[in-house]
Amino acid sequence: MSYLLRRTGFYLLTAWIAITINFLLPRLIPGDPVMSLINRAQGQLSTQAIQSLYVLFGLNKDESIFVQYGHYWAQLLHGDLGLSFAFFPTPVASVIADSLPWTLALVGITTLASFLLGTALGVYAGWRRGSWLDLVIPVTTFLSSVPYFWLGLIAIALFAGVNGIFPSSGGYEPGLVPGWDPDFLLSAVQHSLLPAVTILLSSMSGWILSMRNMMVTVAAEDYVTVAHAKGLSERRVMVSYAARNALLPSVSGFALSLGLVVGGTLLVEIVFSYPGLGFELFQAVGAKDYPLMQGIFLIITLSVLAANFVADLAYLVLDPRTRREG
């Protein structure tokens, strides 16, 4: 229990540091966000307008940095991440809220599917070493070594376009109103299928390989021989003795990849013009939209931390040796 508390404390501290850096960053880079907005307005802003912009972005030069820090926290706790430049005057929070579900659905589901599928294949490939399943490995490794955007472009060229079955961009048919009605959902699934399959193809081999190799290592352990000698069924030995132990290293890898889900797969979303967080970040960088970038970074950092925390918890549950007594 004290271990859990210590871990929680550690993550809270890390989160605080991340948030603070996020506060300091725009104040450290030369040419603050307001300057870039002024440049965009091409000198048509009055001094009062400039001053009010500074206040609006929390960069009021009349306030000390500590007061600014206080305001920053107060805003953050209200869920206020400032206003976006690129989509002025939409609040950053609502821009993120619009794109986050798309990323979570697409990348989240595919990451999970890739992990489950890859791990299952790896378990079988490792258990029946030398079977036809071993042939799957070079194929998936090849697919994952192809640069992602290339795979995406090939997929678009083959399956999308004028005569294609799948749409080549966007998250849903233009003209549909997002909502929980069948037309929209069908369209959303249709739009996400191609990016999902390409992500799956390029990310699965990692899971297969690591799981297969761990299975081969664990299968040589004495307790697996003991399990065989006990006359347990082949399935029970494979699942409960070999795979159960071989899974441990993959779990932390999976948690880390869950953390990266929120950042989206930048390339996927750009190649498929998918309205997710990664695409938003790409646009934000292009438009020098500091508040939006800041907001997205914050969300990414916090979700990586959360995923790590979940990984720690999962390890605690799965591996009794990490539980410290007393």
**Other CB atoms closer than 10 Å to residue 67's CB: what's the count?**
12
Q: Point out which residues pair with 83 in neighbouring strands.
A: 91
Q: Is 244 an interacting residue with respect to another protein (CB under 8 A)?
A: yes
Q: How far is the CB of 318 from another protein (least distance, A)?
A: 7
297 vs 269: CA distance, rounded Å: 17
Task: Out of 45, 56, 232, 313, point to the residue binding another protein (CB under 8 A).
Answer: 232
Q: For residues 83 and 91, what is the distance between their CA atoms, to the nearest angstrom?
A: 4
97/317 with CB nearer another protein: 317
Please list, residue by residue across 183-213, b when 16 or more beta carbons sit within 10 angstroms of its beta carbon and e when fewer do. Answer: eeeebbeebbebbbebbbbbbbbbbbbbbbe
CB 195 within 8 A of CB 274: yes
241 lies in the site for another protein, by CB under 8 A: yes
Q: Least separation, in Å, of the C-beta of 211 and another protein?
A: 16
Residue with tokens 């909502």: 179
Half-sphere exposure of 255 (CA within 13 A, CB side): 16
288: which DSSP letter? Answer: T
Tell whether residue 24 is a contact of another protein (CB under 8 A): no
Distance in angstroms (rounded) separating the CA atoms of residues 307 and 251: 11
Q: Does 235 bind another protein (CB under 8 A)?
A: no
- How far does Cα 104 stand from its chain's mean position? 8
320 counts as binding another protein under rule CB under 8 A: yes
Q: Of 64 and 225, which has the nearer Cβ to another protein?
A: 225
Q: Which two tokens stand for residue 251?
A: 């779990």
Min. distance of Cβ 72 from another protein in angstroms? 45
Please say which residue, 27 or 323, places its beta carbon nearer to another protein.
323
d(CA 264, CA 167): 20
| Residue 216 binds to another protein (criterion: CB under 8 A) | no
Token pair in block for residue 44: 């048509």
Shortest Cβ 316–another protein spacing (Å) = 12
Handedness of CA 156, 162, 163, 167 (dihedral sign): positive
Please say which residue, 156 or 242, places its beta carbon nearer to another protein: 242
Asked if 20 touches another protein (CB under 8 A), the answer is no
Size of the site for another protein (CB under 8 A): 25
Q: Tell which one of 221, 272, 278, 308 touches another protein (CB under 8 A).
A: 221
Q: Binding to another protein by residue 227, rule CB under 8 A?
A: yes
Would you count residue 140 as binding another protein (CB under 8 A)?
Answer: no
Q: Decide if 162 contacts 150 (C-beta within 8 A).
A: no
Are 272 and 195 a contacting pair, CB within 8 Å?
yes
Examine residue 228 and tell whether it contacts another protein (CB under 8 A).
Answer: yes
Q: Which is nearer to another protein, 175 or 320 (CB)?
A: 320
213 binds another protein (CB under 8 A): no
Compute the distance between CA of residue 284 and CA of residue 134 in angstroms, rounded to an integer: 44
Contact with another protein (CB under 8 A) among 21, 223, 256, 324: 223
**H helix count then E strand count, the chain:** 15, 0
For another protein, the closer of residues 5 and 220 by Cβ is: 220
What is the CB neighbour count within 10 angstroms for residue 132? 8
Of 98 and 221, the one with the shorter C-beta distance to another protein is: 221
| 226, 286, 296, 298: residue in contact with another protein (rule CB under 8 A) | 226
Q: Is 326 in the site for another protein (CB under 8 A)?
A: no
Q: Is 229 near another protein (CB under 8 A)? A: yes
**DSSP structural state of residue 91:** B
CB of 235 to another protein, least distance (A): 11
Binding residues for another protein, per CB under 8 A?
Answer: 220-223, 225-234, 236, 240-241, 244-245, 248, 318-321, 325
